A and B are shown apart, each in its own frame.
Chain A
Amino acid sequence: MPDAEQQELLLAFVEEGNELLDETEPLLIELESRANESGEIDYEILNMIFRLFHSLKGGSSFLDLLTVQGVTHEAETLLDLFRKCSREIHRETIDLLTRTCDFLRQLLGNIQSHFTDEGFDDEAEKIIIALKAQIAAISGEGDSGQEATPMATDSKRRKTVRGDGEKAGIPTPDALTQNDVPETFHFAITPEIVKQFVAESEDLLSSAEESFLRLDKMPDDMEHIDEAFRALHSFKGNAGFLGYEDLEKLSHQAETILDKIRTQELESSKEIFSLLLNVLDCLRTGISQVAGGKEIVLPAAKTAIAAMHSVLKAISPSAQSPVDKQLVAEQSKEKHGQQKMTSGTMETDETGAAEATSEPIALPGLKSSGAQQTGAERHSIRVDVEKLGALLELVGELVIAEAMVAQNPDLRNVKTSLDNFEKASLHLNKITRDLQDISTSIRMIPLSGTFRRMIRLVRDLAQKTGKKVDLIITGENTEVDKTVIEQIADPLVHLIRNAIDHGLSTPEKRKTFGKSETGQLVLGAKHVGGEVWISIIDDGQGLSREMILRNAVARDLVKGSGAELTNDEVWRLVFEPGFSTAEQVTDVSGRGVGLDVVKRNIENIRGKIDIVSKPGKGTEVILRIPLTLAIIDGMIIRVGSSRYIIPIISIVETLRPNFQEITVTMDGHEILNVRGNLCPVVRLHEFYNLEPSSTELTEGIVILVENAGKRFGLFVDELVGQQQVVIKGLSEFVGNIKAISGCTIMGDGRVCLIVDIAALADLFFNGYQTEAALPEPLEEKM
């Protein structure tokens, strides 16, 4: 077992690796579909994939994860072949690469739990052999039929990259949904990639700089030379990929110098390091120009390169000469280099100042290293989720504490004017709200990661079922709470499986219906009010009322024939545990588990599911999820002396019933006629065993709530008010309480319970009886 530090590194690697794989998979599929459309390989995508595998390989070799390293190395070699010679890319290759991704994920999983990637030799070997076979096949082809020299394609590619890099400022909305215009590389260098490059480079340059500064003090510290070398090397690689030739050249030279020092061919000295520091400054200027979306103009680059050249030249003839002589020669040359270098600095400073007047944004970089961060700032940091949770909790408490101060009952007894106090308290209130908003937004992450994972799923499913599916993703930048992301991945998988397996038909069948062969699946997200709506829309055959009912009746999910149920209620049956309309259990779906998982997960995050289905036209499933889990909009109600909170999201309307609208059945159930809709009424005071102010329905208020398509009324004494409340869990000590989802602390410091409408409905419709007061059916339900 590795030590704690090593473990931490491994875990970080796993996290990063999974992220890289998440990125890779959609790209592979994108690459395939591009290749299918235009018959050509999209080199930008290929390069990105290559780079991702390369990063993974780099990380694994650093951590001695030999299996991962071996596999990624082969994958990289395979990709490299495609980069070098323009081969057609076949489906088998993509399949193999996706399989490789799967295997890597498995390895990462193992690393996460056992901190090693050993024990997978057989599988690894299989994959490597398969990769090697492909490599052999392709390079064989390449030898015989190779046309353009690698160099030619390379430089051509460069050009397109540069071209695109220049117009990178133009946003490429959603590369995945655009399958038209295949000849332009609109997936090329997106602003995001540039941003990432800039952030990464800033890091690399800083670490190189740090090493140089150390070396400046103790020039013989090999460790730091290595570190600086690595940083520059990575930077060079990145710059090369993105086609920033000047930056690449500069860093290459600097790298060479470091290499010479490493191999002791060049004596390290202060002069050299200040020359290198100068180079770094130069690179920084370039980066901030990139960040500002400008062309790279580096007047200082030439002098720096020349200076480095002379340093290098100085050693090459004298490399074998006696040490003394070499030293002398070197020193003299170094002086020369230094002079040049100083002139270089002067020049940069001057141009910097000169241009700064015309273009103040791009160039403040050269004047001081502190101010230059404008463009190339870090855009994100990794933070422990627990810390975020703690922060959020504290903010929640702050909100409560603020209300307790501002609405303190003692204030009423104060005789003097409270003007100043109120001003201060308003100010405090504003800050608290802002703080709350920001801290909740910290936990928000875009859905793109989750959505992109579905691309792979759709492709696999389409292949398995022999259907043609176009996946369209919209609104992937919509942000939701992290917990929501975690809870939503499974439901999405199930819903997409269902849409493809049951919703969409085979190409032949679709033709007979007069639809295009390729089915359409839209996965979208958008903000609606305080909710996020995630929709899965297919243009398949739609849900069949008869089939659902037949199955539900057969499985005893419905009493009677179910003919009286509305469409909406029928659709909901598919979310019942054990429900399945598939005649056969297929590999993909049909076992009757799945959709109830969807329901459960969505309810866990207090979301709702809407289904709209039109026979022959398709089905739309909308998951309506609250923006944040920590705070809800609540309606405070009073029953007797107790106050409860009902989530506003569940409330349809509130009303004071008339005498004529109430019907009482023989069982004593009260039914309210609300403009033709008959709704049963739950008396909250009976449900919770409270002493109400009045037992007459006409004297209180009925709150009409909706859960899972069913409406019912809650009878309470009074509506107290509406308020945003911070949800707190009840103590473990008391466990689950009947139809209570949590509690909150009110402005006056009292605790107020939050009613769980879903659980209440469950108890009311399926397990709760007004009179008999059966002993807790809740427990078996949980």
Chain B
Amino acid sequence: MVKLMTEQDMLELNTVTNVDEDAQEGKYLTFSLGKEAYGIEIRNVTEIIGIQHVTKLPDTPPFVKGVINLRGKVIPVLDVRLRFDLKERKYDDRTCIIVVNIRNMSVGLIVDTVSEVLDVPFKNIEAPPKIKNCSGNRYILGLGKVGSQVMIILDSHKLLFGDEVEQIADAIV
């Protein structure tokens, strides 16, 4: 129960703190891994680029694929599939890198395809159901209902930094 509260709190926190700054409020960039649709808050996204040569980094977790050259800046890229412990898939010409900027750090997220930007009103977002032993849940900010479809809204902070954020959140609670 505590955890559920935390996430809801955080969701509210995010929405409350960004009311002023954002016309992008409630807008999500959707992408897909396999047949599932995911969304991340558009305000964290700086650009979307096609897949390009990735230089492998030794000695990093498998989901850190390496670094790329983004117009003279070297940024790390993560494979979101591997982050979620999904099966790896060969990159093709629909594979995209979503560049997000969080805590002043640019990081690329490798996804199967990028679809569109959707408006999801706050009332259409539900907290994820609490199911036992489901570790993937920690990346989920909420489930957004778009028509008859359901989109998994991701917490981009946790996507990048994993449990670290959770620990901080726990510490606050």
Contact = CB atoms under 8 A, between A and B. Distances in A.
A733 B56 contact: no
Interface string B70-113: 00101110000000000000000000000000000111000000
Given A734-B64, A738-B59, A750 B72 contact: no
Given A397-B72, A743-B67, A745-B72, A733 B59 contact: no
A740 B57 contact: yes
A68 B80 CA distance: 61
State the majority secondary structure of interface residues on A: mixed
Contacts of A728: 74
A734 B72 contact: no
Chain A interface residue count: which class?
A: 20 to 34
Interface in A749-782: 749-753, 776, 778
A397 B106 CA distance: 18
Max chain A CB contacts within 10 Å: which of B56, B57, B66, B106?
B57
A11 interface: no
Given A730-B74, A745-B74, A750-B53, A737 B59 contact: yes
B68 interface: yes
A751 B55 contact: yes
A743 B74 contact: yes
A642 B72 contact: no
Contact of A734 (B53, B60, B68): B60
Chain B interface residue count: which class?
A: 20 to 34
A400 interface: yes
Contact of A733 (B53, B68, B105): B105
Contacts of B105: 731-733
A731 B67 contact: yes
B74 A751 contact: yes
Contacts of B67: 730-731, 734, 743, 751
A194 interface: no
Nearest to A736: B59
Nearest to B54: A751
A733 B107 contact: yes
B126 to A, nearest CB: 31
Max chain B CB contacts within 10 Å: which of A728, A733, A745?
A733
B58 to A, nearest CB: 4
B69 A776 contact: no
B160 interface: yes
Contacts of A776: 59
Contacts of A753: 55, 57-58
Contact of B69 (A642, A745, A778): A745
Contacts of A751: 55, 66-69, 74
State the majority secondary structure of interface residues on B: strand
Interface string A664-698: 00000000000000000000000111100000000
A397 B53 CA distance: 19
Contacts of B66: 751
A752 B55 CA distance: 7
B79 to A, nearest CB: 14
B55 A731 contact: no
Contacts of A401: 72
Contact of A749 (B57, B59, B69, B106): B69
Contacts of B53: 749-750
Nearest to A641: B56
A262 to B, nearest CB: 54
Contact of A750 (B58, B64, B69, B160): B69
A729 B106 CA distance: 13
Given A737-B58, A745-B74, A753-B55, A731 B106 contact: yes
Contacts of A734: 57, 60, 64, 67, 76
Interface string B142-173: 00000000000000000010000000000000
Contacts of B58: 687-690, 737-738, 740, 753
Contacts of B64: 734
A689 B56 CA distance: 11
Nearest to B78: A733
A743 B54 CA distance: 13
B89 to A, nearest CB: 20
B47 to A, nearest CB: 16
B67 to A, nearest CB: 5
A733 B69 CA distance: 15
A516 to B, nearest CB: 57
A739 to B, nearest CB: 8
A737 B55 contact: no
Nearest to A752: B55
B60 A737 contact: yes
A39 B107 CA distance: 70
Contacts of B74: 728-731, 743, 745, 751
A290 B57 CA distance: 61
B163 to A, nearest CB: 15
A760 to B, nearest CB: 11
Nearest to A728: B74
Nearest to A753: B55
B55 A733 contact: no
Contact of A737 (B57, B72, B160): B57
B68 A731 contact: no
Contacts of A732: 105
A749 B53 CA distance: 9
Contacts of A731: 67, 74-76, 105-107
Interface of B: 53, 55-60, 64, 66-69, 72, 74-76, 105-107, 160
The 4 closest A-B pairs by CB, nearest first: A688-B58, A738-B59, A751-B55, A397-B72
10 contacts: A728-B74, A730-B67, A730-B74, A733-B76, A733-B107, A738-B59, A745-B74, A750-B55, A751-B67, A751-B69
Interface of A: 397, 400-401, 642, 687-690, 728-734, 737-738, 740, 743, 745, 749-753, 776, 778
Given A642-B55, A732-B105, A751-B68, 17 more contacts: A690-B58, A730-B76, A731-B75, A731-B105, A734-B57, A734-B60, A734-B67, A737-B60, A738-B58, A745-B69, A745-B74, A749-B53, A750-B53, A750-B69, A751-B66, A751-B69, A753-B57
